[in-house]
Each structure stands twice: as structure tokens, then as C-alpha cells.
């Protein structure tokens, strides 16, 4: 057979292999590009969430001062998150919005190294909070849309972010142990700023390869937020999810400080954090695709039960075996609540308001309720230690009561 004949048969065969394989390859590429972005963005969180309070303590901040700095970011993302999400819906270009936010987050983080007073730290936190936290809600909405378009599971992409968070948290704990053991005078927090900065750079570059979403520009302008907030059931949903995710405020802000103050090394604290994320990974990887058969209310109630038990135990003891045991409840207190929120938005909220609904949910969960929980936790932890976590158990209970009032999930309007 001639060379031309071979090439001709190869071309014909490739054409016949067709749309199925081409669609599968396109879906794989889209999932891989989204996963890369999740890895970079969640690696930032893997350092920032467990260890940023240590960096602030190294700058001389008290527990209450740390609460104010953290709340500066929380207030900013509460306001900015829904606005960025609504802009993403209105423009129909979530990729462009994510790229803008990723590069702006990098630039906004730089002034932290120059801040030498509490007002300056709060100001830097406000600016950073206006750009970085909204990334995750818009990325989730983009991933859900692309997953639906290419028929792959959202949870199977989201799990890569959890894996990145786990790995980075453990490695950072080991690094801080060695840094602290070297006899530094900064409380062992020295590398934190530089590593977060480098991971923000990686996130900015990863935003360049995000896949496109087949969606046209929406013309609803500023109507999305008003339309959603005028829906009583959606507001009840925001309260339920906000209370449940906001109950993590003491954990996010003070768990590492609380444990290290009771003789637990930063590296061990990092392992405890990673254990919780491992539980989340197991949930997303194993049953994340099966939860569609469950109502969002059921998932939220599972989260409430897990949260109440988890925070009660952490508030009452620093015994490593008990702490290690309840960290697996992160699969319920965070994972089930997150999946329940995504499912509620997918089934109940009209598709044209998807990113806006994600933004409002993030504003409630990582915004209003987390801000209240952080301020309460800062005061309680400074005055009464573990009582801060007991208050979070009460917060999770209130979230469960609100979830009980949600009905079944109807199909979303187009």
C-alpha cells in the first residue's frame, strides 16, 4: 500500500472515530483545565486558612485583633462577591472575570508585607477580600455549567481542589515545624507570606487555560440579586447554609492557635486539618455523584448533625485521638453542606441567575455569618478558650433548624 493510501485510510478512520471520541477528548480537556485552576486556587487556601492567623500573631496581633483583620476580608467579600458573580452572569464571560480576579488578588496581596499596624492590616484584608474569595463561587458555577455541557461530574473536578488543599496544608505544617525549630523570632510564621504569594501567582497563570462556557450574554442587568432576594425560600436557604458554613468560623480562625496553645505542634495541627479535607475528598470522590438522589434539605441536615458533634468535641477537649476522630466529620459539616448548596442552586434557581446565586450563597456562608462567627469566636477564644467552638455547635444547630423548614427541590426554571 502506498504512503498516500495509508494516510488516506488514517484520515478516514479518524473521521469515522467521530463525534463520540472527539466529545470525550474535549470533555477530558475541559475537566483537566478546570482541575488545574482548582489545584492552584485551593493551594492558596491550604496555606491561608489554617496558618494566616499564625502570620498575624507573628505580627503582634492579639486574638481580637486577628478577628478584626479576618472580618475585614469577610465584609469585603460579602459585598463584592455577589457583585462580581452578577457581573459574570450579565457578561456571560466567567473566564474573563476569573482571570481579572486572579491577577487582581495577586496585586492586592502584596501590600500585606508593608502593613505595620492594625488599621493597615484591616485595610489590606478588605482589598484582598474584594478580589480573591469571589473566585471560588464563580469557578464553581463555571464548573457546574461546563460539567453539564460535557457530561462529567462536578464533584470529580472539585475533588482536585480538596487534594491540593490537603497536600499543601500538610507540607506547610512540616515546614513551619522546621522553621520554628530553627529558633526564629517570628513565631514560626516566616514562610507563610511568601508561599501564599507564590501560589497566587500560580492561580493567575492557571486562569489563562480555563475552558470556555457556551452561554450568551444575559441582559437582566441588576435584576438578578433583587429577584433572588425577593424569593422567601431562597432567603431561608441562605440562612440555613450561612449558619452551617458560618459555624466553621472558630475552626478557620482559631483552631491552629487553639491547638498550638495546648502543646500541639504546627505540623500535627496541619495533619488534623488535612484529615478533615481527606474526609471531604472521600465524599466528593465516592458518593458526590450519587447525592443527586437526595434532597438538598437532607444534605444540609447531615451537615448540621456533623457540625454540632464536631464543634462540641473540639470545644471540650484537645485529646489527639478524639480530635483525629471528629475531623472525619468535615465530610458532613462542610462537604454535605457544600453539595447541598450546589444541588439547591442547580435544581431550584433559574439557570440565568446561577453565578449570582453562587455569589449570594458565598456572601452568606463566607461572609455575613462567618463574620459574625469570627467576631464572636475572637472574643470567646481570648476569654474562654474552647467555648468559642461550643458557640459554633449552637450555630450549626440553628442552621439545622432552618434547613428543616426547606421543602423538596423542584426543578429549576429555565
pLDDT digits (tens, 9 = 90+) for 270-279: 889 889 888 8
Spell out a b/e string for 93-104, using b for 16 or more CB atoms within 10 Å of the CB, else e. Answer: bbbebbbbbbbb
Low-confidence winner among 122-136, 359-373, 381-395 (lowest mean pLDDT): 359-373
Residue 132 pLDDT > 50, yes or no?
yes
Under 8 Å between Cβ of 108 and 131? yes
Query: What's the CA gap between 239 and 205, in Å, rounded?
Result: 35
Query: What's the CA gap between 301 and 315, in Å, rounded?
Result: 21
Q: What was the pLDDT predicted at 102?
A: 96
Residue 4 pLDDT > 70, yes or no?
no
Side-chain-side CA neighbours of 224 within 13 Å: the count stands at 26
Domains of the chain: 33-207+221-404 (1.20.1250.20)
CA distances (Å), 9 to each of 6, 12, 14, 23, 308, in order? 5, 5, 8, 22, 64
Compute the average pLDDT of residues 362-375: 81
What φ, ψ does residue 254 adopt, rounded to 5°? -135, -5
**How do residues 6-45 score in pLDDT, each as one tens digit?**
444 434 444 445 666 776 777 788 888 999 999 999 999 9
> What is the band of 176 on the pLDDT scale with cuts at 50, 70, 90?
confident
Under 8 Å between Cβ of 65 and 167? no
| The C-alpha cell that represents 382 in the structure block | 481570648
Q: What was the pLDDT predicted at 6?
A: 44
Q: What was the pLDDT predicted at 324?
A: 93
Mean pLDDT of the chain: 83
Q: Is the pTM of this model over 0.85?
A: no
Sign of CA dihedral 203, 247, 156, 356: negative
Q: What was the pLDDT predicted at 219?
A: 46
**How do residues 189-239 score in pLDDT, each as one tens digit?**
568 999 999 999 999 999 999 987 755 445 454 567 788 888 888 899 999
Quick one: residue 410, left, alpha or beta (phi over 0 = left, psi -120 to 50 = alpha)? Answer: beta
Amino acid at each position: 500500500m502506498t504512503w498516500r493510501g495509508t494516510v488516506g485510510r488514517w484520515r478516514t478512520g479518524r473521521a469515522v472515530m467521530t463525534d463520540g471520541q472527539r466529545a470525550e477528548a474535549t470533555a477530558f480537556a475541559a475537566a483537566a483545565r478546570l482541575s488545574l485552576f482548582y489545584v492552584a486556587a485551593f493551594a492558596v487556601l491550604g496555606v491561608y486558612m489554617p496558618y494566616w492567623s499564625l502570620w498575624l500573631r507573628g505580627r503582634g496581633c492579639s486574638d481580637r485583633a486577628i478577628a478584626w483583620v479576618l472580618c475585614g476580608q469577610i465584609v469585603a467579600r460579602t459585598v463584592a462577591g455577589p457583585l462580581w458573580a452578577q457581573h459574570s452572569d450579565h457578561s456571560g464571560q466567567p473566564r474573563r472575570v476569573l482571570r481579572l480576579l486572579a491577577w487582581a488578588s495577586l496585586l492586592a496581596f502584596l501590600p500585606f508585607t508593608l502593613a505595620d499596624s492594625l488599621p493597615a492590616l484591616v485595610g489590606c484584608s478588605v482589598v484582598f477580600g474584594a478580589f480573591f474569595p469571589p473566585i471560588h463561587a464563580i469557578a464553581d458555577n463555571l464548573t457546574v455549567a461546563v460539567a453539564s455541557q460535557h457530561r462529567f461530574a462536578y464533584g470529580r473536578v472539585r475533588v482536585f481542589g480538596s487534594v491540593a488543599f490537603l497536600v499543601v496544608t500538610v507540607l506547610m505544617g512540616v515546614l513551619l515545624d522546621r522553621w520554628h525549630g530553627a529558633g526564629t523570632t517570628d513565631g514560626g510564621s516566616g514562610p507563610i507570606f511568601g508561599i501564599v504569594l507564590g501560589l497566587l501567582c500560580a492561580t493567575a497563570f492557571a486562569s489563562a487555560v480555563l475552558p470556555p462556557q457556551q452561554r450568551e450574554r444575559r441582559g437582566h442587568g441588576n435584576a438578578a440579586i433583587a429577584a433572588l432576594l425577593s424569593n422567601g425560600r431562597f432567603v431561608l436557604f441562605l440562612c440555613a447554609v450561612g449558619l452551617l458554613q458560618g459555624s466553621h468560623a472558630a475552626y478557620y480562625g482559631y483552631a491552629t492557635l487553639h491547638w498550638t496553645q495546648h502543646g500541639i505542634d504546627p505540623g500535627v495541627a496541619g495533619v488534623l486539618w488535612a484529615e478533615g479535607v481527606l474526609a471531604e475528598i472521600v465524599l466528593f470522590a465516592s458518593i458526590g455523584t450519587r447525592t443527586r438522589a437526595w434532597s438538598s434539605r437532607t444534605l444540609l441536615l447531615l451537615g448540621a448533625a456533623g457540625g454540632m458533634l464536631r464543634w462540641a468535641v473540639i470545644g471540650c477537649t484537645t485529646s489527639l485521638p478524639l480530635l483525629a476522630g471528629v475531623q472525619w466529620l468535615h465530610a458532613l459539616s462542610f462537604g454535605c453542606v457544600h453539595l447541598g448548596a450546589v444541588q439547591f442552586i442547580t435544581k431550584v434557581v433559574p439557570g440565568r441567575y446561577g453565578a449570582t446565586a453562587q455569589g449570594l450563597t458565598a456572601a452568606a456562608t463566607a461572609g455575613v455569618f462567618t463574620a459574625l462567627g469570627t467576631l464572636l469566636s475572637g472574643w470567646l477564644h481570648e476569654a474562654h478558650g474552647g467555648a468559642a467552638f461550643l458557640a459554633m455547635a449552637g450555630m450549626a444547630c440553628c442552621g439545622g433548624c432552618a434547613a428543616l423548614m426547606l421543602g423538596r427541590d423542584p426543578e429549576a426554571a429555565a
